[in-house]
Chain A
């Protein structure tokens, strides 16, 4: 008996070995090495073996030692936080709405709309970014349309405007500088600057991100909607449920697993935003579109501080884990 089991075990390992080797070489080993690099003083310009151990210095640079590096990291966290808070709800809500529309049985040309809404997601993000640069230019379509709709001429320089939306709002009600309570600093960035809100430039990037990802999530919601059994809805109708009740009592609860998936993927994706920033703003103006992912690139390849770049990657990993954890807890509680 045991010999047969033993052989079966061996066969099992053999069948799994391609996957295990693949995961090991392309996932586990690089991640372990990157973790090791984050504790080294390595420029990336000489072989890794020639680097010096740095202890936790790379992490200290980012989190505890007061310096311009920590200030930049704080700015990138602030920017990305506003980015996540703006993009994730917007893309989730829009995707759900579009899925409902496309799923409606009465809609004519459903295939056309489905393709149209999904199109931005399959287009190269760099190409889309360049098109948005034109749209948001001072003489671009956005300003032209706004000028036509709003009184007066709109000549906003979208991608070069570093004013935070919350600061602008406060300025509109007469608060132009930090009140005394916000004079203090956290991680080399004043509380007043932490509360700036996303800059106009970052908001443009957020609009672009929402536009490109909504299609993908729409597809996921659509799949979820089509999995809702028709019998359930029919049964509810026969029991006298109104369309509103059917939506809130049947459709929405059944879509919870999809919602969980969309939110999780959304949070992970938005904490890693890089290509749009790289193509559109390079972290400017006044560092208001700097994100941790862009900072990794800047520190690793332009500043020759590969160890610090790896440390940023792991701090971001922790942040993503925390965010997903919190979101799991919230969704579970409601269940």
Chain B
């Protein structure tokens, strides 16, 4: 521990880099659509994903229009921030939906959302995720939704079918609960509990994210429902059963149900190949079905030297054929509606995730809002543990959000 704070070093080197090469105000140039050398920044969760992306880039390079140099980076946010602040950003890079507001506010991205082929084909909720103050910045690469993942053997043994209402979910969780084995395990954070808010017709902010709407009867209903189930011991947190996340608890048979996104499919295949499971749509709440979507887009830097060539490359990546190739082997879903049936053809068991695309809420707010979400998570952890009251959590989150939204 006696080492100079590594953080300070990162921070300082970021600043230093900026000083060294930060002469460009970020204007960028249109350039030619062909004959350019492009750089792309990406992240990847597995060697397999890495390989598929590399193949896509190779295929593009073979077409001979431009040459793309792909850099797959660990510690992606840090690397991208450093490149952006240095004024030498990559031409094309992955943008996580939750970073989009910050990028939009700071003029990092060239708005190319509508410039790809057939832009109307993308799911509307995803377009919303990548829209900031009316500007649709970038076309989504793929997406995931949250749904109910359940252990089929446990369900058969208990004589259960997938729950379709909150009451049925409570009953199923109760029936599946054993000592040290809650019926349902979900992470104590907004990005999981939010599905119940969507189902109850509640949300932390209004649709334009201009006003906090925590203090509503619907929000109380949603939070109270999940809290009561935790109190009864039928819902649990991953940490309480000794797991890092819902998928791990589920795979290790420490629970019979969890609420996770498409990524759980890869984890189950790699780490827990023997657990038999299925995916169902989450039960409907008082206001119907509800879930949340997560997405990544291909951003083009405003400061890029060859924006025309970068757009050409993004058009290639988001073309139906290429998008199908990239998502075919993976649980993440194509962001084009027209590809849904083709993608589902060889994995019908993931239908529930695709169905979520029609009614999912975006999980994106405004710059600086993550502080409010942190406060909300703080409260949600307290509710799950039983040392906070719903009313207090609503008050503190309302206040934290109002600090940011004004």
Chain A partners chain B = yes
How far in angstroms is the closest Cβ of chain A from B21?
A: 8
Taking the nearest CB of chain B, how far is it from the CB of A118, in angstroms? 13
The contact of A48 among B15, B372, B403, by CB within 8 Å, is: B15
- Could you tell me if A286 and B382 are in contact, using CB atoms closer than 8 angstroms? yes
**Interface range, A side:** 35 or more
From B5, B78, B106, B239, A274 is in contact (CB under 8 Å) with B5
B6 at the interface (CB under 8 A from A): yes
Contact call B381/A49, Cβ cutoff below 8 A: no
Task: Known A29-B19, A162-B381, A216-B2; judge A46-B106 contact (CB<8 A).
Answer: yes
Question: Which A residue sits closest to B5, measured CB to CB?
Answer: A272
Q: Indicate whether B232 reaches chain A with its CB closer than 8 angstroms.
A: no
- CB < 8 Å neighbour of A44 from B4, B84, B368: B84
Contacts of A62 in B (CB 8 A): none
Interface hits, B364-394 → A, CB 8 Å: 367-368, 370-372, 374-375, 377-378, 381-382, 385, 387
Interface with B: A134-142, A225-233, A325-333, which one? Answer: A134-142
Residue A303 lies at the interface, judged by CB distance under 8 Å to chain B: yes
Indicate whether B399 reaches chain A with its CB closer than 8 angstroms.
Answer: yes
CA A78 to CA B114, docked complex, whole Å: 49
Interface: B85 (CB within 8 A):
yes
> How many angstroms between the C-alpha atoms of A50 and B240 in the bound complex?
47
Interface core residue of B78, B84, B239, B400 (most chain A CB under 10 Å): B239
Cross-interface CB contact of B371 among A31, A46, A303, A313, cutoff 8 Å: A303
Q: CB < 8 Å: which of B8, B242, B368, B372 contacts A305?
A: B368
Q: How far is the CB of A30 from chain B (nearest CB, A)?
A: 4
Given the contacts A43-B106, A50-B26, A296-B11, A304 and B367 also touching, CB distance less than 8 Å: yes
The A interface is mostly helix, strand or loop, or mixed, namely helix
Residue of A29, A266, A297 with most chain B CB atoms under a 10 A cut-off: A297
Contact of B11 among A67, A162, A284, A309 (CB under 8 A): A309
Q: Which residues of chain B come closer than 8 Å to A296, judged between CB atoms?
A: 7-8, 11
Taking a contact as CB atoms under 8 Å apart, the answer to whether B240 and A157 are in contact is yes
Q: Is the CB of A45 within 8 A of B242?
A: no
* Residue B321 is within 8 A (CB to CB) of chain A in the complex: no
B2 touches A50 (CB 8 A): no
9 contacts between A and B (CB under 8 A): A29-B16, A48-B15, A68-B404, A69-B403, A216-B2, A269-B2, A286-B381, A296-B8, A303-B370
